[in-house]
């Protein structure tokens, strides 16, 4: 670890704004995560993100603070720390916990069953003490360090309650043993059973919580693919060498056959076949690929063979970006979790106070004896469960984000799922969002100039634009064998089009009908989509065809059934926007809008209700940022993707419906979990205080409460969500 830190920080100081991602092992409950979070906050780190379920800790390191100082501080809290990006992922194993569990129960069972067995020696206090001490030692080893450091950090965790209850029973039993108090003072089986039952609960909980992170683990394993890299031998012959995917560099050529996992993003040089892209789309149907197509790391070859040139490696691949987005999303807390965290932070001190009040009330006022009063106080300590509250939201969120990722949906934060449930307006861009963006060039009409020259200018202007229409026009002209006219001072004007100047100083502008003088607009804008001007005079017009995306009508109908209003907001002509809106069922239309006007409309609607914006272009980025939830497609521009909260990896609009449904079910499960956690504690603590439960039964109830919450969250993995 130290060597890695030194490599990353030669001067042991990190620049302000450095993003840090660590793996922290050993957090036993959500209050442990709160303790780590509070420690980081005290170090001046703003908004640290700590995920108990996955062990991910992410934050931005402020200037003047050493990463070594932070890591050492987390270690002093009792946890192991690894850099998530450089160190090999530590395989989380439950074998040590299982061993402790078996040993503890080996000593506990004779104590618990002593009353049923005809062996007088099992009732001997010294034998019971001998059986209890190994179990207590395991309890101190398992819970003691975490309990001590949680108290030091200012956020006492569940282990404090467990250890306090077990220790109180042991001390009282020792007191009875030393004073000859008899069997009324003997609670050795209580100490052992509390620890053993909680260990059993932890074992079940760890197995269940591990299942919640399965989706990210599966994605991470895909990064460990072996690549068949082509190399040249000393004799000048091509040879194939097997190397880890992370050793590839841009420009390497790899061979891929059936069953191989694509090790990096790249372009097919030779070959044809089919690839399973469920990673991107959530669909298991193979996608045909041929020369010139792109392959994405983590996808699997199911038919054919390829020779691929590597274009993106390691953290640059789409797979790496997906993993990073999901991990960051898991760390962002929804508002409902912040409420649970605030309750959990004060829960343990409150329970200790209730336990003391229980003892005092029973002993001094109810007239219950010392032994029974202590038993009831211990039961209160043991039965209360802050972990159920702490696990209620993170486990549901982790499962939901993994489910979304497997369906081809990336969400930048768990809070996005929550906000999506309050959406009342969904605003759609037109081109590339509701339509396929697979444009066909219907006609290129010229006005007073040679058609071939106009095509050369069009190609020069459009080949550097990211707009879907520009890509279609470029492909059409290149297929016609058109040569580019050299232009300089090329630039894209948002909401208008492209502009450039030739060697003779002629200025060319290409864009929408807004470039035309008012007198020409009415006659031309209904028939043509792009207009080319030379020195402000029209020289060519281009007519383009587009088609509606599959599932667009289905999505709009779904939104209407949920009471969500739909709006089309586009820079395209009014008649085209109205045709599309009528075809898919959209209620409101704002056509011929500039990016500034789009932003104004978004801000106006956002002041009335929560809105979502779906777009894919540079001109959509401001509106996506301003919306409560920005939604983009994977084939969108980088500006649009960066501004969005939700990214549909394959551009399939049906997956937006899935995203809304995942959010709806997730919020329902979170509320169920929180209701159970609060209801359990509100009901269980008074029952224990009244003496209706023994500490042993209380420990069993507490262990079950955690497991119930986790398994309820796991239902999100198997629910049928359309």
Active site residues: 429
616 dihedral zone (left: phi>0; alpha: psi -120 to 50; beta): alpha
For residues 697 and 369, give the distance between their C-alpha atoms in angstroms, rounded to a whole number: 21
Torsions phi, psi for 266 (to 5 deg):
-165, 180
What are the distances in angstroms from CA 221 to CA 34, 156, 226, 315? Answer: 29, 35, 11, 14
Instruction: Say which DSSP state 79 is in.
Output: -
What are the distances in angstroms from CA 680 to CA 397, 427, 687? Answer: 21, 42, 11
- Identify the CA nearest to 618 among candidates 647, 651, 649, 595: 595
Please spell the DSSP secondary structure of 198-261, one letter per residue: HHHHHHHHHHHHHHHTHHHHHHHHHTT-EEEEEEE-TTS-EEEEEEEGGG--TT-EEEE-TTPB
Neighbours of 562 (CB within 10 A): 14
- Sign of the four-CA dihedral 601, 605, 606, 611: negative
For residues 586 and 565, give the distance between their C-alpha atoms in angstroms, rounded to a whole number: 8
Say if CB 402 and CB 212 are below 8 A apart: yes
Q: At what angle do helices 654-689 and 335-360 cross, to 10 degrees?
A: 10
**Helix or strand or coil: residue 516?**
coil
Neighbours of 51 (CB within 10 A): 25
For residues 249 and 612, give the distance between their C-alpha atoms in angstroms, rounded to a whole number: 39
For residue 538, what are the contacts with CB-CB under 8 A and spacing of at least 6? Answer: 447, 516, 520, 531, 532
Please spell the DSSP secondary structure of 517-586, one letter per residue: -HHHHHHHTTT-SEEEEETTEEEEEEEEE--BPTTHHHHHHHHHHTT-EEEEE-SS-HHHHHHHHHHHT-
Which two three-digit tokens encode residue 97? 């916990």
**Helix or strand or coil: residue 499?**
strand
For residue 378, what are the contacts with CB-CB under 8 A and spacing of at least 6? Answer: 165, 168, 169, 187, 190, 194, 355, 695, 698
Q: What is the CA angle 431-432-436, rounded to 5?
A: 105
**Helix or strand or coil: residue 646?**
strand
Which two three-digit tokens encode residue 223? 């990064």
For residue 523, what are the contacts with CB-CB under 8 A and spacing of at least 6? Answer: none
Please spell the DSSP secondary structure of 299-344, one letter per residue: -EEEEEEEEEEEEE-GGGSHHHHHHHHHHHHHHSPPHHHHHHHHHH
Relative to beta strand 537-545, strand 440-446 is antiparallel
Instruction: Say which DSSP state 513 is in.
Output: G
Q: Any alpha helices (H) in 77-213, and if so which ranges? A: 95-112, 125-139, 145-153, 158-179, 188-212
């Amino acid at each position: 670890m130290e060597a890695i830190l030194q490599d990353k920080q030669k001067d042991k100081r990190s620049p302000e704004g450095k993003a840090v991602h660590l793996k922290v092992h050993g957090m036993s409950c959500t209050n442990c995560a709160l303790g780590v979070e509070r420690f980081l906050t005290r170090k001046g780190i703003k908004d640290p993100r700590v995920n108990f379920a996955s062990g991910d800790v992410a934050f931005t390191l402020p200037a003047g603070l050493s990463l070594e100082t932070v890591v050492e501080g987390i270690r002093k809290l009792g946890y192991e720390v690894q850099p998530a990006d450089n160190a090999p992922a530590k395989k989380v194993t439950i074998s040590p916990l299982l061993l402790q569990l078996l040993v503890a129960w080996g000593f506990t069972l004779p104590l618990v069953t002593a009353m049923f067995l005809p062996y007088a020696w099992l009732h001997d206090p010294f034998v019971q003490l001998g059986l209890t001490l190994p179990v207590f030692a395991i309890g101190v080893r398992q819970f003691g360090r975490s309990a001590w450091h949680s108290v030091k950090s200012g956020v006492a965790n569940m282990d404090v309650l467990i250890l306090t209850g077990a220790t109180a029973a042991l001390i009282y039993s020792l007191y009875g043993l030393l004073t000859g108090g008899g069997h009324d003072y003997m609670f050795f089986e209580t100490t052992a059973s509390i620890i053993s039952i909680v260990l059993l609960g932890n074992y079940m909980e760890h197995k269940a919580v591990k299942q919640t992170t399965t989706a990210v683990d599966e994605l991470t394993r895909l990064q460990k693919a072996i690549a068949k890299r082509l190399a040249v031998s000393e004799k000048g012959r091509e040879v194939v060498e097997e190397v880890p995917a992370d050793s590839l560099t841009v420009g390497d050529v790899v061979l891929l056959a059936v069953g191989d996992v694509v090790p990096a993003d790249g372009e097919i040089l030779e070959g044809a076949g089919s690839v399973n892209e469920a990673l991107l789309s959530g669909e298991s149907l193979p996608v045909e690929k041929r020369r010139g197509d792109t392959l994405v790391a983590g996808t699997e070859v199911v038919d054919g063979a390829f020779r691929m040139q590597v274009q993106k490696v390691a953290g640059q691949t789409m797979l790496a970006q997906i993993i990073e987005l999901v991990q960051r999303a898991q760390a962002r807390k929804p508002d409902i979790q912040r409420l649970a965290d605030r309750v959990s932070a004060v829960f343990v001190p409150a329970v200790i106070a209730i336990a003391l009040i229980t003892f005092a009330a029973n002993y001094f006022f109810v007239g219950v004896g010392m032994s029974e009063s202590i038993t009831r106080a211990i039961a209160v300590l043991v039965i209360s469960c802050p972990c159920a509250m702490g696990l209620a939201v993170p486990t549901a969120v982790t499962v939901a984000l993994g489910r979304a990722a497997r369906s081809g949906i990336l969400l930048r934060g768990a809070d996005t799922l929550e906000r999506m449930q309050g959406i009342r307006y969904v605003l759609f861009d037109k081109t590339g969002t509701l339509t396929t963006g697979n444009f066909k060039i219907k006609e290129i009409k010229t006005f007073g100039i040679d058609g071939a020259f106009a095509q050369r200018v069009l190609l020069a202007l459009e080949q550097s634009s990211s707009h879907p229409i520009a890509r279609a026009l470029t492909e059409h002209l290149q297929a016609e064998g058109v040569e580019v006219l050299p232009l300089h001072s090329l630039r894209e004007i948002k909401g208008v089009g492209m502009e450039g100047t030739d060697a003779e100083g002629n200025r060319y502008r290409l864009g929408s009908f807004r470039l035309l003088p008012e007198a020409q607009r009415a006659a031309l804008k209904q028939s043509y989509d792009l207009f080319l001007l030379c020195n402000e005079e029209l020289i060519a017009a281009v007519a383009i065809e587009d088609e509606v995306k599959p599932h667009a009508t289905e999505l709009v109908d779904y939104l209407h059934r949920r009471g969500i209003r739909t709006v089309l907001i586009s820079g395209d002509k009014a008649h085209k926007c109205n045709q599309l809106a009528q075809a898919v069922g959209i209620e409101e239309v704002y056509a011929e809008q500039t990016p500034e006007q789009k932003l104004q409309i978004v801000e106006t609607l956002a002041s009335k209700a929560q809105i979502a914006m779906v777009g894919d272009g540079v001109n959509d980025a401001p509106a996506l940022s301003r919306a409560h939830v920005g939604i983009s497609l994977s084939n969108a521009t980088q500006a649009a993707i960066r501004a969005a909260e939700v990214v549909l990896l394959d551009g399939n609009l049906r997956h937006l419906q899935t995203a809304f449904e995942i959010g709806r079910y997730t919020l329902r499960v979170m509320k169920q979990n929180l209701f159970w956690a609060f209801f359990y504690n509100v009901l269980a603590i008074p029952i224990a205080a009244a003496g209706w439960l023994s500490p042993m039964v209380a420990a069993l109830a507490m262990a079950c409460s955690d497991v119930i919450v986790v398994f309820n969250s796991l239902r999100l993995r198997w629910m049928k969500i359309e």
